[in-house]
Homo-oligomer: A and B are copies of this chain.
């Protein structure tokens, strides 16, 4: 593969080149990895500074409909929108989420939109790196807004929040006054909670749910990166395309404020450090998967199982031999 050519075509905003480049960064093959690194270095600093929006919502809250309606609204304003997914559970089916494009049919046909399903990786660490690299590629290809969505399995919300400028939590209207079992940690990540399906028979319920979450958000500790009134809860109807423009106004206002106050830059720097540390940790642990290490580990495993060595003795011996 001609990496210089691929680079130029990405900078010319060719979608097929972008898709091909993402396939390249998703590959686990060693030669592909080297090419991917070369490509990313060649593109670094190019393109525009996108707005990275993290979006979490469990199945059933209308996430696909929201992304489609919200994305169409943005492209109608002339913005280029990319949609990426972080979904460790998709690894189970051995590949990308089936129908990721069919569930956002209109948006996938939009020339200013680009939809990419989650890479198939059993390992969230691998998905995280590849998604961050896909974000960099989309930025180089001139996308203005990058939506990174997750269904919120395990640690995936943290992963998405650590690569986003702002984090949206999409929820469904809930009967009664109980909050929908949203974990406190997830609430604390959210910049804006969107209660979807504020339409038809559910409208009143959605408004009550929204008020409940607004109350819950007020109880959270104040964060320095929030202007007055944030984090906030709002109602939207993805189906009727209602409230989306108001939500977008809030997002742009929030980002303006954060950029002016220096929080945006500080957050990106902190995120870069987070991923640096994470890659070092993963890289260290990967040494255990080298063939020589695995062989030694198996030998020691047998000793430990037989009681000939204690776990600590075996660990010491293993660590001494790991370069």
Could you tell me which A residues sit within 8 Å of B by CB distance?
Answer: 37, 40-41, 44, 129, 132, 269-270, 272-281, 283-285, 287-288, 297, 300-301, 304-307, 310-316, 318-319, 322-323
Contact = CB atoms under 8 A, between A and B. Distances in A.
A275 B44 contact: no
How many chain copies?
Answer: 2
Contacts of A301: 273, 276
Given A284-B284, A284-B285, A315 B279 contact: yes
A195 B276 CA distance: 47
Contacts of A285: 281, 284-285
Contact of A322 (B132, B276, B279, B284): B284
Contacts of A283: 315-316, 318-319
Given A273-B304, A275-B311, 8 more contacts: A40-B310, A132-B311, A272-B305, A272-B307, A273-B301, A276-B311, A283-B316, A284-B288
Greatest chain B CB density within 10 A among A41, A306, A315, A318 is at A315
B311 A272 contact: yes
Contacts of A270: 305
Contact of A276 (B40, B277, B278, B300): B300
Contacts of A40: 310, 312
Given A311-B272, A311-B275, A312-B37, A297 B319 contact: no
Nearest to A132: B311
B281 A312 contact: no
Greatest chain B CB density within 10 A among A275, A276, A285, A315 is at A276
A304 B276 contact: yes
Given A280-B319, A283-B315, A284-B322, A304 B37 contact: no
A278 B132 CA distance: 29
A273 B315 contact: no
A312 B279 contact: yes
A321 to B, nearest CB: 11
Contact of A272 (B288, B304, B318, B322): B304
A47 to B, nearest CB: 14
A313 B301 CA distance: 34
Contacts of A319: 280, 283-284
B279 A288 contact: no
A280 B276 contact: no
Nearest to A282: B315
